[in-house]
Amino acid sequence: MQYIDLEPFEDFVRSRNLVNNEHLPYYINWILRFLRSEFDRAHLSESDLLQCFSDQLARDDSVQDWQLRQAMKAVELYLNVYLPAKQGIAEPENPKRELLLSDSQQAMRQMKELLKLRHYSPKTLETYTGWVDRYFRYAKGHKLEWNSPDTVRAYLSYLATQRNVASSTQNQAFNSVLFLFRETLRVDLPEINSVRAKRGPKLPVVLSVEETGRLLSAAEGTAGLMLRLTYGAGLRVSETIRLRVKDLDFDSGVLSVRSGKGDKDRSTILPASLMPDLKAHLERVRALHAADLEKGAGAVWLPNALARKYPKAPKEWGWQYVFPAKNLSVDPESGKTRRHHVSETIMQTAIRNAVSVADIAKHVTIHTLRHSFATHLLMQGVNIREVQELLGHKSVDTTMIYTHVVRTMSARPQSPLDTL
């Protein structure tokens, strides 16, 4: 068997922290399998080679779905990142020189590719690219060199002093620009941390049990069902709208969240009180799906290479969205007509209306329901570690914030004024 030296690839990936160390051996094995596959490489394009390799793995019953996804990520990393860098196309030896020579559009493209490669969420990608684009426009409008650390400091100071943005907003801009320089262009920004905004401890807005009941009672229809499920399972808005039928286990009372924040899966509570309404809702969704199938539609988007491995899966009932959009739409990437999930604006409008009807003066968003879920569980005496698992927090320190809220909502000392 031909010897293939992937040690330089391993050093490249480790130095840039592109893959978790414990996963790297599996990536190397997949790349070796790809390189040793008998394809007609001289007459196939790179995309065709990837397709052939994906099809080859899809026919192998011993390769599971997650392994297929991992294999394709590994090969794409090797072909699209490592090889161009090795050939001096994407990352020359002197990254500072590349920074000086590259234009802002090229830098933006590189950042987008790296964000996708590291599996940042679409929301994070949108946020980071939005701030970097505003930074470029600021530099151009003030006739400053965008690749200068002084310009970064000036921009962050401008946000704080002239735009009067909140510290969290300033730090969001800071993290976005920092990712552009340090992670994408591999250029350090000396002493740039000195302009990071200091944010004091903030407690999340939490509804009382009584307020939560009033709010949810004021929300009707499918949007009301979505809000109740969001509170009852402690979901993020993106997790609610992307739920698929197979994620609901009525027999076990378990709701599975797939590829949540940080691309992590988790299980949480499927509220028993919602099961009758959810089952009735799914009957209506199933009828809609049957009508789509009769029209020759009925397929949904599937993540990564699953659609190639299971070509019939996109039309199967279990993969359909629990909360589908009202109308069919054209997928901009594939050009196929599909029924996507509902927009989060449906829930945002519903909660604004419910807050008004329930006459709640607090600043309530959909995420407030998740905060309230965690706080109310702790008030019931649920162990904080269990709450951490239900929320999908990486560290219990993140969950600890709700213990402070519990103290403010529990029995408080009596004011001396009340004893006079």
Catalogue the long-range contacts made by 371-375 (C-beta closer than 8 Å, 24 or more residues apart): 371/204, 371/205, 371/206, 371/402, 371/405, 372/206, 372/207, 372/212, 372/231, 373/231, 373/232, 373/233, 373/234, 374/234, 374/399, 374/402, 375/206, 375/402, 375/405, 375/406, 375/409
Please, where in the chain does CATH 1.10.150.130 lie?
95-195
Q: What is the pLDDT of residue 389?
A: 93
Q: What is the pLDDT of residue 97?
A: 39
**DSSP single-letter state for residue 250:** T
The three-state secondary structure class of 337 is: strand
Q: Phi and psi (nearest 5°) for 19? A: -140, 140
Could you give the CA distance from residue 80 to residue 47 in angstroms, rounded to a whole number? 11
Evaluate the CA torsion angle 154, 159, 161, 163 in order and state its sign. positive
Tokens 């009852």, located at residue? 232
Give Cα 163 distance to the centre of its chain. Answer: 28
Would you say the pTM of this structure is higher than 0.85? no
The three-state secondary structure class of 329 is: strand
Q: What is the pLDDT of residue 92?
A: 41
CATH 2.170.150.20 for domain 209-404, yes or no, is no
Q: What is the pLDDT of residue 94?
A: 43
- Closest to 179 in 3D by CA, of 233, 259, 124: 124
Please indicate whether residue 370 is annotated as part of the active site: yes
Q: What is the pLDDT of residue 305?
A: 63
The three-state secondary structure class of 302 is: coil
Q: Which residues lie below 8 Å from residue 13, measured CB to CB, with a gap of 6+?
A: 19, 24, 27, 77, 82
Considering 73, 82, 231, 236, which one is annotated as catalytic? Answer: 236
Please indicate whether residue 266 is annotated as part of the active site: no
Exposure string of 42-63, with b = 16+ CB inside 10 Å and e = fewer, is: eeeeeeebbebbbebbbeeeeb
Q: What residues form DSSP beta bridges with 341?
A: 324
> pLDDT below 50 — which residues of the chain?
89-102
- Alpha-helix runs per DSSP H in 78-121: 83-86, 95-101, 104-117
Tokens 């993140």, located at residue? 398
Q: Which residues lie below 8 Å from residue 189, measured CB to CB, with a gap of 6+?
A: 149, 152, 178, 181, 182
Q: Which residues lie below 8 Å from residue 267, measured CB to CB, with a gap of 6+?
A: 254, 255, 256, 257
Element containing residue 367 per DSSP (H, E): helix 366-379
Q: Which residues lie below 8 Å from residue 251, measured CB to CB, with a gap of 6+?
A: none
Please indicate whether residue 402 is annotated as part of the active site: yes
Considering 281, 370, 371, 376, which one is annotated as catalytic? Answer: 370
Please indicate whether residue 367 is annotated as part of the active site: yes
Please indicate whether residue 264 is annotated as part of the active site: no
Please indicate whether residue 109 is annotated as part of the active site: no
- Closest to 159 in 3D by CA, of 147, 143, 179, 176: 176
Q: What residues form DSSP beta bridges with 256?
A: 267
- Closest to 91 in 3D by CA, of 183, 192, 188: 183
Q: What is the pLDDT of residue 410?
A: 63
Q: What residues form DSSP beta bridges with 330?
A: 337
Considering 261, 266, 308, 340, which one is annotated as catalytic? Answer: 261
Task: Look at the chain and count its residues.
Answer: 420
Question: Would you state the CATH architecture of domain 7-86?
Answer: Orthogonal Bundle (1.10)
Q: What residues form DSSP beta bridges with 244?
A: 321
CATH of 95-195, one of 1.10.645.10, 3.40.50.300, 1.20.58.1610, 1.10.150.130: 1.10.150.130
Considering 82, 135, 155, 402, which one is annotated as catalytic? Answer: 402
Could you give the CA distance from residue 289 to residue 245 in angstroms, rounded to a whole number? 12
Please, where in the chain does CATH 1.10.443.10 lie?
209-404
Tokens at 350, concatenated? 């519903």
Could you give the CA distance from residue 190 to residue 195 in angstroms, rounded to a whole number? 11
Tokens at 182, concatenated? 């340090």
Give Cα 258 distance to the centre of its chain. Answer: 11
Could you give the CA distance from residue 314 to residue 307 in angstroms, rounded to a whole number? 7
